[in-house]
């Protein structure tokens, strides 16, 4: 028995009046829907491929600046003196010094920060180490007891919108 909507009781489409295939309109609609799905998928794939390097570059720049900021903050918190002028003017490098005492033994420490060929270097007690790569600018400033570091990191030189600038500040401890 055939129902009025074109399907029999088993859910199988039955053809009436000699129909034995799809109409041109049905085929055209199916092709149009496939084309639309293909277009949406290809646009999504292209966006994912172009966004991934941008996100990776920004993440790398962020990790570099945060890592350098953490070391800088720690060193300034320990420092008792710096070679920066106490007038708020910026300098391209800084040397921080402090004296540690432990069980009546005194240890003198220095930490020197400077930029060389796009790498921020930290020389701690004479041992150099690269703490940030892809650095385009760094500036240090001293105002009273607070030391500031402004750090700009950019992975891709052709895309300035990927640059990341962070400013860190910390107070030096008092001379004992």
Give domain status of residue 157, yes or no: yes
pLDDT in the model for residue 124 = 94
Residue 3 pLDDT level (bands cut at 50, 70, 90): very low
Give domain status of residue 69, yes or no: yes
Give domain status of residue 17, yes or no: no
For residues 118 and 75, what is the distance between their CA atoms, to the nearest angstrom? 21
Give 167's strand partners: 150
Find the domain containing 156 and state its range: 48-171
Are the C-beta atoms of residues 80 and 107 closer than 8 Å to each other? no
Give domain status of residue 146, yes or no: yes
Number of H helices, E strands in the chain: 1, 9
Structure confidence by residue, pLDDT tens digits, 65-105: 888 999 999 999 999 999 998 888 899 999 999 988 887 88
Is 80 exceeded by the pLDDT of residue 17? no
Per the structure, how many domains does the chain have?
1
Give domain status of residue 70, yes or no: yes
First vs last C-alpha separation in the chain:
102
Give domain status of residue 75, yes or no: yes
Is 70 exceeded by the pLDDT of residue 176? no
Give domain status of residue 152, yes or no: yes
Give domain status of residue 37, yes or no: no
Most confident of 19-33, 130-144, 148-162: 130-144
For residues 101 and 157, what is the distance between their CA atoms, to the nearest angstrom? 45
């Amino acid at each position: 028995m055939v129902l009025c909507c074109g399907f029999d009781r088993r859910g199988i489409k039955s053809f009436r009046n000699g129909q034995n295939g799809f109409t041109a309109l049905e085929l055209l609609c199916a092709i149009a829907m496939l084309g639309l799905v293909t277009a949406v998928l290809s646009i999504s794939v292209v966006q994912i491929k172009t966004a991934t390097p941008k996100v990776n570059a920004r993440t790398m720049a962020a990790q570099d600046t945060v890592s350098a900021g953490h070391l800088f903050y720690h060193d300034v918190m320990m420092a008792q003196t710096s070679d920066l002028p106490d007038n708020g003017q910026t300098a391209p490098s800084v040397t921080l010094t402090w004296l540690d005492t432990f069980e009546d033994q005194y240890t003198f420490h220095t930490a020197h920060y400077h930029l060389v060929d796009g790498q921020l270097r930290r020389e701690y007690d004479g041992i150099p180490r690269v703490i940030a790569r892809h650095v385009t600018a760094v500036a240090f400033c001293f105002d009273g007891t607070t030391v500031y570091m402004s750090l700009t990191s950019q992975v891709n030189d052709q895309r300035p919108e990927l640059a990341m600038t962070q400013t860190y500040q910390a107070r030096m401890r008092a001379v004992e």
